[in-house]
Amino acid sequence: MSLLLFGILAVIALITAALMVTARNLVHAVLMMVANFGTVAIMYITLSAPFVAVVQVAVYAGAIMVLFLFVVMLLGEQQLSFDEPFAGQRMAAGVLGLLLAIMLLVTLFTASPAVLQTGLTAEQIGRENAQRVGELLYTQYLLPFEATSILLLIAMVGAVVLAKRRLL
Amino acid sequence: MPQDFLPILVLFIMSVGLGILVLIIARLFGPRVPTRAKMMPYESGMRPIGQAMRRLPIRYYLTATLFIVFDIEIVFLYPWAVVYKRMNPIWVGLAEILFFFVLVIIGYVYLLRKGALEWE
Amino acid sequence: MDLGLLVEWIIKSVVIMGVLLTGFAYETWLERKVVSKMQFRIGPNRAGPFGLLLPLADGIKLIFKEELTPAMADKWVFRIAPIMSMVVALITFAVIPVGPSINLFGRVIPLRLADVNIGLMYVLAVSSLGIYGIVLGGWSSNNKYALLGGMRSAAQLISYELALGLSLMGVVMLTGSLSLVDIVNAQAGNFWNWNIFLQPLGFILYGICGLAETNRAPFDLPEAEQELTAGYHTEYSGMKFALFFMAEYINMVNVSAIASTMFLGGWRAPFGFIPEWTGPIWFFIKVITFLFIYIWLRATVPRLRYDQLMNFGWKVLLPLAIANVIVTAITMALRQVYAPNAVVTVTFGSLLLMIAAVFLWRSWTSRSMRRRPPLHGTSAEGAARTA
């Protein structure tokens, strides 16, 4: 049952991803990416990680894609031309993509089982999912969390520097 | 649990179906007599000049970026809000989040001073 | 998974869709009737008694209307956008409990579609997708008004979403759960257990943000007739327009339902001795009260100017919401350490913050009014005063 569900979701995710990459119209590409993120969110739910799923929807689909959409509108040009912006870009992208795929596959098959197992049962993760995340985030992983808050501060400054340069 | 979300999936499929059904019904019953003038984009009777799509102010970009930053901060705050009541001792939770908020407030004051929140 | 459960879900989904769609139809009737009474008019009175059949007549009319697709429009996105809006509005309601569990035909049936543990975050995440229907609708129309309306609306939605997410956080902190069922259960008993008495500022902030999120007056800038004809749905007609309209009104119901659930005890009766099965009735009363306030505000408050709207969201609501979370955190800690029995400390902090905010707001508006005189005449002045 869950394998079948995963199969369906994986096919949808791959199709939407392929459509996103091949779309000539940038707004269509954004729309496909939103669909892709939605599918991935459902996958997280089937993995008993509803909190991650909700974050996926709220942050990626609900915030970052909105920024993408705004940028597309900002440029005022939605149709992509066929010629490459930089010479040899497609070739380089293909090679890098292949390298990434190889790396991921190697990692997947050589990783020790300890990496794949979290030590919690699905029952424990699924119920009270947000609570578990909170407990870990604010005890064991407190330092990364506070570091993230500094990172967010930098992001804020960066946004202003990019958009309002003439005011600085 | 994943099963908890199944009823939502049922509702989702049914509402998508309803939306498509509504469009089909409207297509079946509504007349279709397109004319050139009717199909023109509506501009209060003026003849439209050029495409609707044009460059938009950079202000929208800034708003969207700041939205992402604050949205991520809120997402980080929710797991804390859920466990805050049960934290032992509670002062630790308070100190953690006050440190977080100090940084948020520094950023916010920076935005205010730079005029990044002014909408012209 | 047994078949009975699936049938139960399908029946509940049909009921939710049916109730929300009928609710939508009669909301439009209620709005016309209430606004007309407030303006000393009669309002709809021809179709049926008190014009009660008017929504039906409207529906039939819209079905038989010609649907226009402007030339050069992006046809598929143009079709998908209204469906997206409506679907998002409908599935938001899925996690809201409208009553306790009841016994029917030997089955225990909880009066809600789904109880997910991260309920509140689900609501926030799904409703943040509502933006796509609006932006894409405006973009695909190939119309300058529609595009501008869609972009304005998008910027407005994301700006108010921040304060909205933060305003509900106080309740989550006090309850220690994101499940809406748990939040309702935590408010059981008499009405003074309701969260509104612990989080008065959170309630007010949520109410204002809810207005803005549903594009209702005085935040109905995207549809400001005088400047943008009809905003993002300028080019929409017939049932496609009806879908957008539906989404807006269902979102109003959603906001009202969430406000009731988070702050007013959800389906719980105001007094503990009232039997639990009356839950749906109380829920209905609370939602209708909110809807009435929505309509009342529309009849009373003039529209804001766009820069005022954005400033209000970023410079007033967002800092207030952050301050509310901090004050709630501090008062909760103080209560736990020094006075475990004093419920009022949290309320006290919230009220103190509210008073401080009013003073700050007064000084801020008077300063900004001096700096930026109103552009034109009375409407801008009125808007400034209400802002």
Query: Of the candidates A41, A63, A81, which is a domain's last residue?
Result: A81
Residues 6+ apart with CB under 8 A from C141: B41, B52, C70, C73, C78, C147, C232, C234, C235, C236
For an interface test with B, give the residue of C169, C205, C254 to mutate (most B CBs within 10 A): C169
Burial bucket for residue A103 (CB in 10 Å: 0-12, 13-18, 19+):
exposed
pLDDT tens-digit profile of A10-19? 999 999 999 9
Residue A126 has pLDDT above 60, yes or no: no
- C158 and chain A: CB distance < 8 Å anywhere? yes
pLDDT at C381: 45
pLDDT at C254: 92
Quick check: B94 and C113 CB within 8 A? no
- What count of other Cβ atoms lies within 10 Å of the Cβ of residue A167? 11
pTM (predicted TM-score): 0.86
Query: Of the candidates A35, A53, A81, which is a domain's last residue?
Result: A81
Residue C214 has pLDDT above 90, yes or no: no
pLDDT at C386: 46
Q: Which residues of B touch C12 (CB under 8 A)?
A: 7
- C148 and chain A: CB distance < 8 Å anywhere? no
Residue C268 has pLDDT above 80, yes or no: yes
Which domain range does residue A29 map to?
1-81
Question: Is residue A115 a part of any domain in this protein?
Answer: no
Residue C335 has pLDDT above 50, yes or no: yes
Indicate the pLDDT class of residue A116, thresholds 50, 70 and 90: low
Percent of chain C with pLDDT over 70: 88
Range with lowest mean pLDDT among B73-82, C185-194, C327-336, C362-371 = C362-371
Q: Which residues of B touch A49 (CB under 8 A)?
A: none
Question: Is residue C20 a part of any domain in this protein?
Answer: no
Q: How far apart are CA C159 and CA C212, in angstroms?
A: 9
- B82 and chain A: CB distance < 8 Å anywhere? yes
Question: Is residue A111 a part of any domain in this protein?
Answer: no
Q: What domains, with CATH codes, occur in chain B? A: 2-114 (1.20.58.1610)
Q: Which residues of C touch A58 (CB under 8 A)?
A: 121, 124-125, 128
List chains touching A (3+ CB pairs under 8 A): B, C
Which domain range does residue C199 map to?
65-386
Question: Is residue C36 a part of any domain in this protein?
Answer: no
pLDDT at C385: 45
Give the chain B residue nearest C336 (alpha carbons): B90
Indicate the pLDDT class of residue C383, thresholds 50, 70 and 90: very low
Alpha helices, DSSP H, located in C278-343:
279-300, 306-311, 318-338
CB pairs under 8 A between B and C: 211
Q: What average pLDDT score do residues B34-58 get?
A: 70
Residue A140 has pLDDT above 60, yes or no: yes
CA distance A128 to chain C (A): 6
Output the 3-class SS for chain A.
Answer: CHHHHHHHHHHHHHHHHHHHHHCCEHHHHHHHHHHHHHHHHHHHHHCCCHHHHHHHHHHHHHHHHHHHHHHHHHHCCCECCCCCCCCCHHHHHHHHHHHHHHHHHHHHHHCCHHHHCCCCCHHHHHCCHHHHHHHHHCCCCHHHHHHHHHHHHHHHHHHHHHHCHHHC
Question: Is residue A125 a part of any domain in this protein?
Answer: no
pLDDT at A166: 58
Quick check: A74 and B60 CB within 8 A? yes
Most distant CA atoms of chain B, gap in Å? 73
Question: Is residue A26 a part of any domain in this protein?
Answer: yes
Same domain, A75 and A144: no
Q: How far apart are CA A144 and CA A121, in angstroms?
A: 25
**What type of residue sits at position C44?**
P
Q: Which residues of A touch B6 (CB under 8 A)?
A: none
Angle, alpha carbons A17-A19-A24 (nearest 5°): 130
pLDDT at C73: 76
Question: Is residue A129 a part of any domain in this protein?
Answer: no
Q: What average pLDDT score do residues B23-28 get?
A: 85
Give the chain C residue nearest A131 (alpha carbons): C177
Residue C298 has pLDDT above 90, yes or no: no
Residue A34 has pLDDT above 60, yes or no: yes
Indicate the pLDDT class of residue C307, thresholds 50, 70 and 90: confident
pLDDT tens-digit profile of C85-137? 999 999 998 888 888 877 777 777 777 877 888 889 999 999 888 889 888 88
CA distance B41 to chain C (A): 5
**Total domains present in chain C:** 1
Residues 6+ apart with CB under 8 A from C300: C38
Burial bucket for residue B87 (CB in 10 Å: 0-12, 13-18, 19+):
buried
pLDDT at A80: 66
Range with lowest mean pLDDT among B55-64, B101-110, C151-160 = B55-64
Question: Is residue C227 a part of any domain in this protein?
Answer: yes
Q: How far apart are CA C151 and CA C145, in angstroms?
A: 10
Quick check: B82 and A59 CB within 8 A? no
Question: Is residue C154 a part of any domain in this protein?
Answer: yes
CATH code, A26: 1.20.120.1200
The residue ranking higher by pLDDT, C139 or A98, is: A98
Q: Which residues of A touch C117 (CB under 8 A)?
A: 50, 126-130
Residue ranges of B 17-46 with Cβ closer than 8 A to chain C: 18-20, 22-23, 25-27, 29-34, 38-44
Helix axes C130-140, C75-92, angle to 10 degrees: 160
Q: Give the ipTM.
A: 0.86
Question: Tokens in use for C139?
Answer: 């973009």
